[in-house]
Amino acid sequence: RSLQEQPALRLTFELKRKPMYVHGASTFDVVATPAPMRSSGEKSMVYNGMASFEQGGHTHEYSLVDGTAYYTRRPTGQFDAEGDSGCLPSNSIPPIGSVLSAIQGAATATHLLEPGVVEEKCPGGSMMVFPFAGEDFVLCSRPSSSSWFKDEGFQIFGSDLNINVKYESTAPTIVAPRVASSVLDSCKKVPFGERITPSLPSLMTRSVSEWGHRALRAEKAEWNIFKKAWNLITDNVCGCKGAQRPCVFIAGLSSRDTWWISLPLAV
């Protein structure tokens, strides 16, 4: 595939733990567009990305352009105002090549479930599992309702976050903000690891039938990783399994205050 045929991506992140929120936001979008890697010619590519947040009367913009990560802050609503911009540490952005490689190595899990269960959790799609950064993830591909792409993307479910990936019919232009030359000289490139070639991102546009075809291969998810990952998208991940019981609090750990609580109080 040529670079022009690669789709832009919109990744919607859903963060499940409050300490992970970004500028107070539990959900946000990241737009990623393919671009040639300048140092390697047209046969290698990277994804430029951009995300923005509003907090405290300011718009906070994060961008990744040609391997350099930037941060810009400007007053909310003043899009023409020149904000304060600078570089982010190169290790603050995960290498997208490693993420794509992890997805590329995903193993089918559809055959481990009853058809009705798959249809409920992943309607009309195929289910995969893969590990990344020490965590297990479930991937659900979705069928297409549009003629623009072979499919509409996929969902990724994890214990700390979910990611909804969709393909964009138009690719926005992501440009680097203006940064002082003295600062730009000290900016370091994000370590991409493996070079991303058009053949690797093409996995992002595989049709549902192509995903399902992997079930015919010897790539089968081990039951232990799937069992752990499957809990991420079921309704019984955690919670009280039985009847509520009275709470009993015991003061301790160097606390010298006297505490009293009524036993009939329930959780």
Which tokens in the block code for residue 91? 């290790």
The residue that leads in pLDDT, 204 or 68, is: 68
* Residue 216: strand, helix, or coil: helix
pTM for this predicted structure: 0.69
**Which residue in 67, 51, 49, 65 sits closest to 15, CA to CA?**
51
- Comparing 145 with 51, which gets the higher pLDDT? 51
- Give residue-wise pLDDT tens across range 174-200: 888 888 888 877 788 876 644 444 443
User: Tokens for 161?
Assistant: 């976050």
Q: Are 130 and 106 in contact (CB under 8 A)?
A: yes
| Domains of the chain, first to last | 3-233 (2.50.20)
Question: Does 63 score more than 50 pLDDT?
Answer: yes
Asked if 212 and 126 touch (Cβ cutoff 8 Å), the reply is yes
Please state, in angstroms and rounded to a whole number, the distance separating the CA atoms of residues 114 and 244. 32
